[in-house]
Each structure stands twice: as structure tokens, then as C-alpha cells.
Amino acid sequence: MYRLLSHNDLDGVGCGIIAKLAFGDDVKVRYNSIGGLNHEVEWFLENEGKETFLFITDLSVNEGNEKRLEEFYQSGGKVQMIDHHQTALHFNEYDWGYVKVEEESGHLTSATSLLYQYLVQHELMEPSNAVAEFVELVRQYDTWEWEKNDNQKAQRLNALFFLVSIDEFEESMLSRLKEGDSFTFNDFEEKILDMEEDKIERYIRRKRRELVQAEIDDYFAGIVYAESYHSELGNQLGKEYPHLDYIAILNIGGKRMGFRTIHDHVDVSEVASRFGGGGHVKASGCSLNEEAYKKFVTETFHLEPLREDAKRNRYNVKESSFGTLYEDRKEHQYLLYPENDQQWRIKKGEKILENVFTSFNDGEVFLKRNYAAWLVRDEHFVNYLIKLVKKGSK
Ligand SMILES: [Mn+2]
């Protein structure tokens, strides 16, 4: 008999699916949150005999269980832990630990890809094209490589995972991986995935109109309240407002918040750790403790949402040699214009600001951070120019 304890996300469940392909009814699988794993391990050690082989994938145990598992192993117990998280590398000191973050090819690993390799190498399962394809989709999703490669299929696999229950997901994946020689979605899945995509798009459009910005500690944050689609939302808003260092997504009901960034100069796991949380460099989270609540809710609740840049302009466009016109909530106007080849400056109303920028982009970031200004529509720009001309002819 085998028992597999795994994470309850796509990568963790991918491990369960691979294990069931390999062992069929001989494996019992349990999916856990990060916190739930240790109870399961303790239960296993107290209740199961040495004839059951224990796999732990995509998660690592606490120190107490690390010692217990080593004792279990030394006294003849069968256990194999397989993980790909940097923080778990020290488990490689044990015979039963196998942690690998990156392949020799430079590609990041996932728990599913490591388990698949392990089972094939140990001749516990036959490799197949369909399974290899499924494993690769999971890996790309889990490591964010899908974004770089714009691998929509990987993203859709994760979307499907959240649309159905884990049991349903497992079952439908198992039947197609056993039979097919390539991995595909069926027509019904394609249809609900399309509907889901439309729904997310509308949700993001609505949330975009609620985004406020605030300088919190040393960063400019975009703050939005949302219960769903945190990754998509954080990613989209981050791209649309690149002057913000990160996007903070507050789930008031869940008393939690998430951080997302698209920038390399920001490590949001560090930002989350200031509030007792953690996570990855580009995506992290924390509980909404008193300090976080004060900074992200109390002190920003009165703020007006950011306005969007006008999108369909022909004249008032970015990096124009005539200058680009912005406006803020107090109806101040700002013209960002090139002074010469290397320098950009800003004229606020009648007055030229002291700041000199080496690129249009730097100037725009300054405008957006300090004045929450937005690019105005063409007609405002034309009116601005007419006024200038009139003044000049007086
Ligand atoms: Mn994983």
C-alpha cells in the first residue's frame, strides 16, 4: 500500500493524479493545506504500519515531524518526500528527502514534474505523451513560466481546477490520461473556460475603477478590495499601472491580504513579512493584522480611485514631441515635454517644475505617483493648445 500526502493546489493535486495513475487502488491520497500536513503525518505515524509507503509531495513537515520521520525511516519505515521549494532544501540531508528547485536545463521544477520523473525512473509507471503534457502544463503554471510563454492552456488547466471539485478534477484527468495520447480539454470544458474568462474580464474591469494608490512605507501601492481572482487581478492592474510598485488585494471577509508585483525591483514576500506574512517574490500574502489594517484600510479608505489614461487618443499620446497632457483631481494640468534629446520636464499650469527627467517614463512615474494624474482625452489637449495660442497672441 501507498499513502500520498500532498498540497491542495494544482501542483499538489497533480501529484495525486500521477500517483493514482501509477498505483491505482493501491494508493490513498490526502490533500492538505500547508498547516494541515503535520496532523496527517502524525496520524500516519501513529496508525499505519511499516508496510505502507508514505509519499509527501509539494509540502514540507515541521521540525518535530522531520525527527519523527527520520526515526520511522531508520527503523525500517518507508517514506519519500519530494518537493521543489527553496525553503525545503535541507531535507536533502535525509535519505528520504528529495528536493530540487531547478533542472539542469535551467527550468524550474514542480512537485508534479519531480514525482513523475521519480516514478518513471523507479519503473513504477510507464511514461506517456499525454501524462508528460499534463505534467508540463502543471509545471508551467506552478512556476509562472506559463506567463512568460503565454501558455494559455496551462492557465486554463488551473482555471478548470478551481471550477470543479478536487474529486471531479481528479476523476476527469485520470480518465483522459489513461486513454488519450495527448492532453486536451473537451468541448464542454472549453465552453465553461471561455465563459469563465469573460467573467474574469468583467470583474477586473469593475475592480480597476476602484483602485486607489498610497505611499506605504517605501513603496507606492495600488489598493483594491477583492475576494476572487487575485492572480489575474494583481497581474492586470500591475501592468496597467506600472508606476505602482505592487498591488495589494484586500479580502476583508477573510481578514487577509495578498500582494502582487510585476516589477523586479520589488520583493513582495519581504513586504508581506513586515506584516507577519510571506510567500514568493512576485506573489505573497498576510493576515490583515492591526497594523496592516491601519495602513491599508483606515488610512486609504477616503481616497478617490485612480483615473485611467485616455486610450483612444490620436494627439495627446505618450512621448509626443509636442508634450503630453495630464490632469489631476484638483484640475491642475501637467504637460510632460522633451526639453532636448536627453531631458524631459513638466509644466504645471504656468509654472515649470524644477525636476528634470532622463526619460519620458521617469517623468510619467513622477506625475502619477505624486499627483495621481492621468492622461487626458484629446479634446482637453486641443483646448489646452488653443488657450496657449490665444495667450501667445495677446
Ligand atoms: Mn508546487
Domain ranges of the chain: 2-185, 210-298, 324-393
Are residues 7 and 59 in contact, defined by beta-carbon separation less than 8 angstroms? yes
Are residues 259 and 268 in contact, defined by beta-carbon separation less than 8 angstroms? yes
Predicted confidence at residue 329, as pLDDT, reads 94
Are residues 3 and 28 in contact, defined by beta-carbon separation less than 8 angstroms? yes
- Cα 363 to averaged position of ligand 1 atoms, centre (Å): 40
Please state which architecture CATH assigns to domain 2-185: 3-Layer(aba) Sandwich (3.40)
Cell output for 111: 512537485
Spatial distance between the Cα atoms of 118 and 309, rounded to a whole number of angstroms: 51
- Cα 310 to averaged position of ligand 1 atoms, centre (Å): 40
Cell output for 193: 473556460
Spatial distance between the Cα atoms of 126 and 111, rounded to a whole number of angstroms: 18
Spatial distance between the Cα atoms of 309 and 293, rounded to a whole number of angstroms: 29
| CB-side neighbour CA atoms (13 Å) of 298 | 8
Measured in residues, the chain has a length of 394
Other CB atoms within 10 A of residue 267 CB: 17
Q: In what order do the strands lie in the sheet with 79-83?
A: 27-32, 2-7, 53-57, 79-83, 97-99
- Cα 190 to averaged position of ligand 1 atoms, centre (Å): 25
- Cα 130 to averaged position of ligand 1 atoms, centre (Å): 20
Spatial distance between the Cα atoms of 388 and 240, rounded to a whole number of angstroms: 31
Q: Which CATH number fits domain 210-298: 3.30.530, 3.30.420, 3.40.50, 3.10.310?
A: 3.10.310
Predicted confidence at residue 87, as pLDDT, reads 85
- Cα 95 to averaged position of ligand 1 atoms, centre (Å): 21
Query: Per-block average pLDDT, block size 10, for the chain (394 residues)?
Result: 96 98 97 92 92 96 96 96 93 97 95 98 96 98 91 95 96 92 94 95 96 96 95 93 98 95 95 91 93 97 96 96 95 96 94 96 97 97 91 72
- Cα 317 to averaged position of ligand 1 atoms, centre (Å): 43
Predicted confidence at residue 181, as pLDDT, reads 85
- Cα 350 to averaged position of ligand 1 atoms, centre (Å): 56
Predicted confidence at residue 49, as pLDDT, reads 81
- Cα 7 to averaged position of ligand 1 atoms, centre (Å): 8
Predicted confidence at residue 389, as pLDDT, reads 87
- Cα 12 to averaged position of ligand 1 atoms, centre (Å): 6
- Cα 138 to averaged position of ligand 1 atoms, centre (Å): 9
